[in-house]
Amino acid sequence: MHSVQTQEQPTSHQEENVKVLPIMMSLIIGAFFAILNETLLTVAFTDLIKELQVSAATIQWLSTGFLLVVGILIPVSALIIQWFTTRQIFLGAMILFTIGTIICGFSPNFSFLLFGRIIQAAGTGLLIPVLMNTVLVLYPPEKRGGAMGMIGLVIMFAPAIGPTISGVIVESLNWRWLFYIVIPMALLSILFASIYLKNVTPVTKPKVDIISIILSTLGFGGIVFGFSFGGEGEGGFLSFSVIVTLLVGVISLILFVVRQLKLPEPVLDVRAFKSPMFALTTVLIIIMMMTMFSTMIIIPMFLQGGLALSAYVAGLALLPGGILNGFLSPISGRLFDKFGPRSLIIPGSALVVVVMWMFTNVSHATSLITFITLHTLLMIGIALVMTPGQTNGLNQLPRKYYPHGTAIINTLVQIGGAVGIAFFISIMTAGQLAYLDGATDPTPAQQSEALISGVQAAFSVGLIFAIIGFVITLFITRSVPPTEA
């Protein structure tokens, strides 16, 4: 069905060639601002904690919850794409995103703000796969590389510059403008799409396996909830509620995997993990995403709370690393074609280990230049691992597993980011509480020292994960595409 469709579509689009650019503009504008929201609030967390009177472990749900919903919806989107037209899904997703943005901008308290973020995430989770699918249909094979490179740059660059934009806006105006400025751009994307976006995918309406969707939601939700609650209250990760939540998540995921192996049309065909390079690089990519998203939150919080810098400066400190990460991603992909994965991912992961070790020694004496340098080196290392790792892992899959392999990686990238944020913020919070144990009325100086202690604890655990990632790279070899389709 798909092969026939891809042969027929280019003809119709060649006849409307002038409309391809406006279609891509509407898609990219919508996707950019939706994906930007994954990290747009990070620098504003310090202000939000004070204004909304919540803890750091609570405020991180504005990012964790967003990533969790996106991660849950991406595997489900494979079904949604086959039930509704491209136009219906994109417009529906952008309308959802816009409604969520409006709720966030005018939210009176944390609960409303979190609700708005979840609505935003529901739209974003549908936009990412629709964007990829539409590009495949709009462009013939010989032109897809450039188009996909442009989309990849947007997907990596948007969350990377989120903290910087956040810092500038929070310093000049207030956190609500983080949402106000997005509303007109979202409306512009809806207007463009309503005029130019055509239906480019067939509607087949396959059978929907509700049980699989419930199990995946409980699985991913339970794991992220468990990690998030681990840093709150008494007992930490050993508390009864955390253990039960994590058990529910793990058991649900096991049942989900078992069910996928039995279904004739699985939501996610986990047989892709039979390919060793795909399995290894998937674990490696999860570790990289945990590291990237967690440091995007921990570093601004440390710069503001530990070094007493402004949100504006904290945001600008992350800009060089964000820019380099975005632009190095397509370059590392081309280098992979020439030199293979090992020459990129081994030095890249080694660089991440060195930087995480240096982050474990941060203190009041650490200069801003040092933070900027370390973050930039970290983002370079991650860029050397991410694109080559994904490409190498997918290259080993038989062609029939391409859609499932892509969906699995996209899902686990989002979940990895969500777990990373939740886990490392929990470790940081637990470290702060341990430092202040026994202090009835801690002074500002003690609170600042406690933050440093918590940040060092979080980076120490991050160093362990980075070392595991480096060991994994030693076993990765260049994938040989299977001879049979």
Identity of the highest mean pLDDT range in 12-26, 428-442, 454-468: 454-468
The residue type at 399: R
Is residue 451 located within the same domain as residue 349? Answer: yes
Report which residue type is found at 192.
F
Flag whether 484 is in a domain.
no
Q: Is residue 269 part of a domain?
A: no
DSSP label of 208: P
The domain total for the chain is: 3
pTM: 0.73
Q: Which segment of 2-6, 68-72, 421-425 scores lowest on mean pLDDT? A: 2-6
Same domain, 82 and 34: yes
Give the pLDDT band of residue 236 (cuts 50, 70, 90).
low
**Confidence at residue 99, expressed as pLDDT on a 0 to 100 scale:** 95
Please give the Cα distance from 402 to 269 (Å, whole number).
10
Say yes or no to pLDDT of 196 above 50.
yes
- Token look-up 């995946």 returns 216
Considering 347-361, 430-444, 452-466, the range whose residues carry the highest mean pLDDT is 347-361
Opening angle at CA 228, ends 227 and 230, nearest 5: 65
Residue pair 37/30 in contact by the 8 Å Cβ criterion:
no
Which string of DSSP letters, residue by residue, matches 234-273? TTGGGSHHHHHHHHHHHHHHHHHHHHHHH-SS-SS-GGGG
In a domain, 415, yes or no: yes
Task: Check: CB of residue 289 under 8 Å from CB of residue 417.
Answer: yes
Q: Could you tell me what percent of the chain has a pLDDT over 70?
A: 84
Q: For residues 243 and 288, state if they share a domain.
A: no
DSSP string, 403-466: HHHHHHHHHHHHHHHHHHHHHHHHHHHHHHHHHTTT-SS--HHHHHHHHHHHHHHHHHHHHHHH
User: CA-CA distance, 70 to 203, in Å (whole number)?
Assistant: 23
Contact 212, 269 (CB under 8 A): no
Which range (131-135, 164-168, 209-213) has the least confidence? 131-135
Same domain? 195 vs 82: yes
Report the mean per-residue pLDDT for the chain.
79
Q: Does residue 256 sit in the same domain as residue 288?
A: no
Residue-number span of the structural domain to which 132 is assigned: 1-206
Q: Are residues 202 and 224 in the same domain?
A: no
Which residue, 161, 181, 206, sits at the end of a domain?
206
Query: Does residue 127 sit in the same domain as residue 244?
Result: no
From CA 163, how far away is CA 372, in angstroms rounded? Answer: 13
What are 87-100's pLDDT values in tens digits? 888 899 999 999 99
- Per-residue confidence (pLDDT) for residue 11, from 0 to 100: 38
User: Which range among 240-254, 339-353, 391-405 shows the weakest confidence by mean pLDDT?
Assistant: 391-405
When pLDDT is averaged across residues 231-239 and rounded to a whole number, the result is 62
Q: Which two tokens stand for residue 251?
A: 């058991």
482 in a structural domain: no
Q: pLDDT tens digits, residue range 120-156?
A: 988 888 777 777 666 656 665 445 445 555 666 676 6
Distance CA(219)–CA(179), nearest Å, equals 31
**Cα(456)–Cα(462) distance, integer angstroms:** 10
Same-domain check for residues 50 and 91: yes
210-229 helix and 402-435 helix, angle to the nearest 10 degrees:
20
> How many residues does this entry show for the chain?
485
H helices of 263-363, where?
276-305, 311-317, 319-339, 342-359
Question: How many Å apart are CA 115 and CA 100, to the nearest integer?
Answer: 8
14 and 71 fall within a common domain: yes
Q: Which residue has the higher pLDDT, 65 or 110?
A: 110
- Other CB atoms closer than 10 Å to residue 397's CB: what's the count? 24
Instruction: Give me the mean pLDDT over the 406-421 stretch.
Output: 75
For residues 179 and 118, state if they share a domain.
yes
Are residue 223 and residue 308 in the same domain, yes or no?
no
Same domain assignment for residues 40 and 181:
yes
453, 311 contact by CB (below 8 A): no
Q: Which of 140-154, 287-301, 337-351 has the lowest mean pLDDT?
A: 140-154
Contact 345, 333 (CB under 8 A): no
483 is a domain residue:
no
Out of 264, 286, 310, pick the residue that ends a domain.
Answer: 264
- With beta carbons less than 8 A apart as the criterion, state whether 198 and 91 touch: no
Q: The tokens of 90 are what? A: 């994109």
Would you state the structure tokens that stand for residue 424, as one six-digit string?
Answer: 């490392």
Q: Please choose, from the candidates 322, 7, 333, the residue with its C-alpha nearest in 3D space to the C-alpha of residue 150.
A: 333
Asked whether residue 481 is assigned to any structural domain, the reply reads: no
pLDDT value at position 242? 81
Greater pLDDT, 35 or 350: 350
Burial of residue 312, with CB atoms counted within 10 A of its CB: 0-12 exposed, 13-18 middle, 19 or more buried: middle
Q: pLDDT-derived band of residue 103, with 50, 70 and 90 as boundaries?
A: very high
- Residue 10: pLDDT band by 50, 70, 90 thresholds? very low
On whether the CB atoms of residues 246 and 222 are closer than 8 A, the answer is yes
pLDDT of residue 137: 63
Over residues 412-440, the mean pLDDT reads 77
| Residue 182 belongs to a domain | yes
Residues 438-447: what's their mean pLDDT?
A: 75
Q: What is the CATH number of the domain that holds 382?
A: 1.20.1250.20
Boundary-marking domain end, from 206, 235, 256: 206
| Cα 160 to Cα 165: distance, rounded to the nearest angstrom | 10
Over residues 55-67, mean pLDDT: 77
Residue 400 lies in a domain: yes
